[in-house]
Amino acid sequence: MWRPMREFAGNGIHLSCTKESLRNAEKIGKGVNLVNKKIILTISGCMMMTAVVSAANPFTDVPQDSWAYQSVTELANSGIVEGVDGKHFQGNRNITRYEAAQMVAKALAREDRVRGEEREKIQKLAEEFSEELNGLGVRVDDLENRVGNIKLSGDIRVRYLHEKDAGKYGDRSWQFRGRLRAEGKINEKMSAILGVNFWDNFNTTQSASSGSDTFYVDRAYITYRPDAKKKSLFTVGRFDYAFGNNRALQYYETFDGLKYRYQTDKRAFTAGYGKFKEGRRLLDRKAAFAEVEKFFKNNSALGLYYMRVDGSTDERSGHVWGGYTNIVPGKKWQANYVLYRVDRKDESTLKDGMTYIATVKYGKANFARPGSWDLWGEYLHDAAGTANDDCCGTWRMHADDTKGWGIGLDYTLAKNVQIQLFRTFDTKVTSTGNKRNELTRAQFIFLF
């Protein structure tokens, strides 16, 4: 066990020595003059020494409640890293900083094959464990240059919809969507992201060359991180922002504007201003928003948000107040609850409305892990005018002025290939209590 350090005052040299090594040095030093004896005592007694360095001890455990541990766990569960020494890591044991660095090094080697959010997480981990990575002979800058400056990712969705008595049958039931994302690094602090979206119904009668298919740019923005620890992020251009853990049904769409986000492993603050460019109720409406979030163990979270929507004298103007909680009691179970209220202007043709959604999920379908699955159930109570249909964080064809139950199953068929099944039950119109048509939905998702 290493003991407190001794200092050779003559030269100001700091060395770490054991008592046993010092006793051996005293034997060697007999018979020499006092000055030489001090030198021998210091040097020969410290042949096995630990230099004083400012870096963290690489063999200390990474705290399990830290963002770094959670991020490594998420990457491992996504199949990007598998652990060290042939042991698969799932967040179920302690790991040292050195072990974490080994897993980050593996993730860096595969960085060109991961998606934008995961790539950002890997880069943040690389900065946290940079000294340990250097000890492994891994230079982050070299890896970044090797994988190239432009990174592409995307997804394709083929879905089937059937709604009784709503004309959803035959070719009308099938829809196709493709999305492509390109991310380029401008400099050490700035990146550019461009995304395109294409979708079409199978029952379309026009030729493909006629240009009647829907094809548009849904992402075109610049990101800027001013601080070295990358806690602050500015986004300007065309992007999307989803309130309430992606479940605020009306307030989630293509958005032109400016957004600022400050995030640590414990909390986050987001604010922005701009104009909605999609959405039946929000198209061309300016909005200012803010959200505060608190993060806990196992990806549990709590958030509160507010939005002011500007407009004329219709239902699209007003205030939105909401919150969400995401509870993850273990590795298999997850519960999510969202509640928000829309307060409109006095001259609005619609009344103020309240929406709440409760979801319970068992399991975790992971695109990187074939055979993984989850099963979930949901209850929705949505007031009139508080949601956009068939968009904005919902899988239903009709979410506005709707209440009812839903269940779903997600199953990973192969790496980056997933089938998702949805079904509604006991669905009614919130304002009248009348019966709504039930929806059956099935879709394949392919990531690349």
Band the pLDDT of 31: cuts 50, 70, 90. Answer: very low
- For residue 183, CA distances in Å to 63, 108, 152, 292, 446 come to 32, 17, 6, 27, 19
The predicted-structure confidence for 336-378, as pLDDT tens digits, reads as follows 888 878 776 654 555 667 888 999 999 999 998 899 999 999 9
Residues 118 and 163 in one domain: no
Do 289 and 415 belong to one domain? yes
Residues 210 and 318 in one domain: yes
> Does the residue 7 lie in any domain?
no
pLDDT for position 244: 63
Q: Do 171 and 138 share a structural domain?
A: no
Q: Are residues 164 and 298 in the same domain?
A: yes
| 439 and 325 fall within a common domain | yes
pLDDT of residue 77: 73
Q: Is the pLDDT of residue 45 over 50?
A: no
Q: Which of 420, 397, 427, 408 is nearest to 167 (CA)?
A: 397
Q: Number of folded domains in the chain?
A: 2
**220 within a domain of the structure (yes/no):** yes
Q: Does residue 283 lie in a domain region?
A: yes
Residues 313 and 419 in one domain: yes
List, as one string, the DSSP characters of 10-44. Answer: TTTEEE---HHHHHHHHHHTTTS-HHHHHHHHHHG
Asked, for residue 14, whether it belongs to a domain, the answer is no
- The tokens describing 98, both together, are 């050195």
pLDDT at 368: 86
Q: Are residues 77 and 178 in the same domain?
A: no
Distances (CA, A) of 101 to 30, 107, 125, 130, 191: 46, 10, 8, 8, 25
Same domain membership, residue 304 and residue 239: yes
pLDDT at 440: 92
Residue 31 lies in a domain: no
Same structural domain, 217 and 106: no
- For residues 57 and 169, membership in a common domain is answered with no
Do 100 and 222 fall into the same domain? Answer: no
Q: Has residue 154 got a pLDDT over 70?
A: yes
User: 38 in a domain, yes or no?
Assistant: no
Residue 30 confidence (pLDDT) above 70: no
Range of the domain at 397: 151-447
- The reply to whether 6 falls in a domain is no
Cβ within 8 Å of residue 158, ≥6 positions away: 174, 175, 176, 443, 444
The reported pTM is 0.67
Structure tokens at 278: 């999609």
Residue 367 lies in a domain: yes
Residue 277 neighbours by CB distance under 10 Å: 19
User: Which position has the higher pLDDT, 318 or 419?
Assistant: 419
Residue that wins the pLDDT comparison between 121 and 248 = 121
pLDDT band at 142 (very low <50, low <70, confident <90, very high): low
Average pLDDT, the chain: 76
Q: What pLDDT score was predicted for residue 10?
A: 40
Position 163 pLDDT exceeds 70: yes
Last residue in a domain, options 91, 121, 145 = 145
Token representation of residue 376: 């979930």
- Residue 153 backbone class (left: φ over 0; alpha: ψ -120 to 50; beta: rest): beta
